[in-house]
Each structure stands twice: as structure tokens, then as C-alpha cells.
Chains A and B, each alone.
Chain A
Amino acid sequence: MNLTLRIWRQRTADASGGSGSMVTYEVTGISPDMSFLEMLDHLNEELILRGEEPVAFDHDCREGICGACGMVINGQAHGPERTTTCQLHMRHFDDGDVVDVEPWRAGAFPVVKDLVVDRSAFDRIIGAGGYVSVPTGSAPDAHATPVPKPVADLAFEHAECIGCGACVAACPNGSAMLFTSAKVVHLNVLPQGAPERESRVLGMVGAMDAEGFGGCTNTGECAVACPKGIPLSAIGRMNREYLRAATRPR
């Protein structure tokens, strides 16, 4: 199959995005079994042969579990299927389609080059409380800390977040609430996370605000775009955790 791609090309980092533009490429000989990233590899091989600069994009595991890849395809984060860009296959497009490919757009995610954005703002949110402090030494007995099955399931549902940033890219406000809430809920519902329950949510929300992400208007675009199916209710749970922590006497 053949496609017309319009890809955001930007040579250098520039917060305003003014130095880049959409460039049109005709890509031929695409197999429907290629992933979207393999299709871009296919384009890049051709660009290299022509002596042009290949399109830069982030990728790593290519099996939908690492969260490295991500681009906005036809206005949708990770494209038309509910999966990561690496697991999106070309059979979901039709021969002759015009496909727009853009980087995540958020002030807190500055474009580094082409489709690559700097997502280290997420790392700083994690650094503000997205961990549990454990005593070092030998591994504890598996049954030392009982975790009820429903709680374990709830924690796991939120632990599935791979930090790809699709929620920020899809949110009309560029808000990181779904990411932050997934991490807060994952740890706050578990007994292992209990000692830092309050400082975690206050610290992570503070870091999220400091990075310049927008606020939540309960639009719900994030949960629709999330390739891991983090539910919108995560945000409600984090709000409850935040208000509980903020109103506790200190």
C-alpha cells in the first residue's frame, strides 16, 4: 500500500515550535503487517539513500510495554487504535490515505527534534514521591504484608501506566493528571505505600504543577487515549487523596 505522510520536521529544540513545519512524504511499498514505526523505518531507509535527514522518533521495546514511543497520528495520540504507536499496524490505514504525524504537544514536553519530545518532566514528578521507601536487607517473606486481592488488582490496574505521555498529548489543557494519578493511586492503595501516603500525593501534585502542565477539566480525553486503559476514575481517586492529605492536621 501507498500513503502520503505529513510529518512534523524540526531540526532543533525550540519551545515555541516555530522553527518546524509539516513536510509531505510519499511512502510506497508499505506492507499492512508493518507496525507504524516499521513504516517510518521504511521511510527513513529511503531518506538515507536519498541523502536526506531521517525522521527522528523515540522507540525502544517495540512491544507496547516500555512507553518510549509516541506520536500524534491524525490528531490522536498513538493513532486510531487503543495501543502504543509501535503496536499500531498499517492494516488500520487504507491505501492512499493522507496521514498527519506530529509530536506530543505540551509546554512541559519541549520538542527535541522532529517527533522526539523531552519527557523528563515525568521523571521529576516520580522523583517527588512516586516510590516507596523500604529497609534494605534480605527479601521479606511473601506473606509478611497481606494485600487483599481487590486492592492488589486496583494497584495493578494503575501500575500498568508506562509513562508514555499520551494523556498529556490528548488533553486539551496539556494536563498530566492521569499519569500522576495512576502513580499516586498505584502506591497509595498498597500497605507498602502507606507511610508516605500524604507526602507522596502532595509532592507529586506540587511537582506536576511546577512543571507547567495544565489543570484537569474532566474532559476525559486522557483516558480515551491511554494505551494501557488507565481509568478516568484514577483522577478522582487522586483528588480524594490530595484533599485528604491537605486537610490532615500537620
Chain B
Amino acid sequence: MALATTRRAPASSFIGSVWRSTVGKKAVMAVTGLIMLAYLVAHMLGNLKVFFGAGEFNHYGQWIRTIGEPFLHHEWFLWIARVGLTVSVGLHGVAAYQLSRRDLAARPAKYVRKRARASYATRTMRWGGVILGLFIVWHILDLTTLTVNPNAQEGHPYENLVASFGRWYVDVFYIAAMLALGLHIRHGFWSAAQTLGANSPRRDRAFKIVANALAALLTCGFIAIPIGVMTGVVS
């Protein structure tokens, strides 16, 4: 039998073939994950203005709506960011769901003798991701749409935030979600570097250090806010 000497034209489009492949789908997860991570760094740094009082925090909240003016209309930047983040969360979640289904189906018969496998952060990626997804829904209902906020004053994010974190169970859920976020980023950032082919034996250690630093920074930065409210530093 002779080998084929011409190559068939690819049957599907670039996006289709990448999405169907496990490697391509992981790349989609890596890129959307990095987009969300970049947003979280900005979000955390902006939120820390809560420690400078209501005036500065509420002014920051107003400024977000004016980014890009006069090139962009009022609030357009905000909506572009919201659409971008929603698409990222959606693609990340759908890809994770499809890959997880595939991964679980790839071993129909389990081992009789089980062994502890992988680090805690690696093992909790799936359920941690589900927790973070639920947290995002609640977080938007609480502080964006104000549907479940006890204060619910439009244009007064500082007062809404203080009112929300005045409830102990909200603080507990928030802190738990931020710990889940830290674990997710600890494995996720390094994993994204590996998936996108940016990692190498020489860079491996650096990527792991940056992943741990980002995880610690974001978790501590976000948790500082409910702790500030609970201790009365922010009121």
C-alpha cells in the first residue's frame, strides 16, 4: 500500500476543528481563564478603594461608567467588558463540562485499589469551578442588579457593600468562594501556561511561583473587604 502523497483539505473550519479537539478546547479554557484572571486583578485592586471611604469608592464606581469617553458612549466600556466576561465564563464552563464528561467516560471501569492522586488544588478544579459559577450568579444578584441586596441603593455601591457584608452568612459564603478561587487559580494559571505551550522545563518554576502569588494576592485582597466590614474598619 502506498502512502497518500497529497493531503486532503481539512474538512472543517479552523474554529470547528479546534473546538472539537481536546487540546483546542483546553486552549479555549486557558484563554478565557486568563481573560477572567486579568479582570479579577483589576476588580480586586479597584475594590480595595473601599478602605478610603464612601466618597472615593462611589466615585470610582461612577468613573468605571465613563471609561473611554468621549470615544465610547456612557457605560459602553462597561457593557463591552460585561459581554466579554459573560462569553468567557460561558465558554470556560461549557468546555469544562464537555471535557469532564469525556474524561470520566474514558475510564468506564475503575481501579479496585485506589490511591491518593494529585494535589488538592488539582483535584478540586471541577467542583471548585461549580462553586465559583454559583458564586458569580449570587454576586451579580447582590451587588450589580441589587436584587438580593438589603440596601439596594442604585449609585451607592459603598453602602450596598457594607449592608451586604453586614450579614455573617454572606461573609462565610464570600470567604469560602474566595478560597476556592485561590485554589482554582493556583492550578489554573500554571495549567493555562502548559496548555498554551508557554511552559518549558526552565520556566516551570517561575510559572508555579506566579500562579501561587496570584492566588494568594487575589484571595487575600478580596477577603480583606468582608473582614474590613466585620471588624468595623469599613462601615
Q: Is B a genuine binding partner of A?
A: yes
Partner of A172, one of B17, B21, B117, B193: B117
Q: Mark B72-115, 1 if CB is under 8 A from A, else 0.
A: 00000000000000000000000000010011111111111111
Q: Decide: B118 and A105 in contact? CB cutoff 8 A.
A: no
Q: Decide: B118 and A247 in contact? CB cutoff 8 A.
A: no
Q: Decide: A242 and B102 in contact? CB cutoff 8 A.
A: no
Of residues 13 through 65 on chain B, the ones whose CB sits less than 8 Å from some CB of chain A are 14, 17-18, 20-27
Q: Nearest-CB distance from A97 to chain B (Å)?
A: 13
Q: Decide: B111 and A102 in contact? CB cutoff 8 A.
A: yes
Partner of B197, one of A6, A172, A237: A237
Q: Decide: B113 and A199 in contact? CB cutoff 8 A.
A: no
Q: Mark B119-143, 1 if CB is under 8 A from A, else 0.
A: 0001001000000000000000000
Q: Decide: A100 and B113 in contact? CB cutoff 8 A.
A: yes
Q: What's the Cα separation between A105 and B112 when bound, in Å?
A: 10
Q: Nearest-CB distance from B18 to chain A (Å)?
A: 5
A217 at the interface (CB under 8 A from B): yes
A75 at the interface (CB under 8 A from B): yes
B66 at the interface (CB under 8 A from A): no
Q: A175 with B103: in contact, given A72-B111, A233-B204 (CB under 8 Å)? A: yes
Q: What's the Cα separation between A221 and B26 when bound, in Å?
A: 18
A interface, over-half SS: mixed
Q: A107 with B106: in contact, given A217-B122, A221-B117, A243-B27 (CB under 8 Å)? A: yes
Q: Mark A188-203, 1 if CB is under 8 A from B, else 0.
A: 0000000000010010
Partner of B21, one of A22, A111, A206, A221: A206
Q: Decide: B106 and A75 in contact? CB cutoff 8 A.
A: no
Q: Decide: B109 and A17 in contact? CB cutoff 8 A.
A: yes
Q: Mark A146-175, 1 if CB is under 8 A from B, else 0.
A: 000000000000000000000000001111
Q: What's the Cα separation between A177 and B230 when bound, in Å?
A: 48
Q: Decide: B122 and A236 in contact? CB cutoff 8 A.
A: no
Q: Decide: B118 and A216 in contact? CB cutoff 8 A.
A: no
Q: Decide: A250 and B108 in contact? CB cutoff 8 A.
A: no
Q: What's the Cα separation between A151 and B24 when bound, in Å?
A: 27
Q: Nearest-CB distance from B107 to chain A (Å)?
A: 4
Instruction: Please give me the residue from chain A that is nearest to B201 by CB atom.
Output: A233
Q: Nearest-CB distance from A99 to chain B (Å)?
A: 9
Query: Which residues of chain A are near B197, meaning CB under 8 Å?
Result: 236-244
Partner of B26, one of A105, A216, A220, A250: A216
A126 at the interface (CB under 8 A from B): no
B196 at the interface (CB under 8 A from A): yes
Instruction: Please give me the residue from chain A that is nearest to B110 by CB atom.
Output: A105
Q: Decide: A216 and B22 in contact? CB cutoff 8 A.
A: yes
Q: Decide: A246 and B194 in contact? CB cutoff 8 A.
A: no
Please give me the 6 A-B residue pairs with the lowest Cβ-Cβ distance, nearest first: A240-B197, A17-B109, A214-B106, A75-B115, A174-B106, A173-B103
Measured CB to CB, the residues of B under 8 A from A are: 3, 7, 9-10, 14, 17-18, 20-27, 99, 102-115, 117-118, 122, 125, 187, 190-191, 193-201, 204
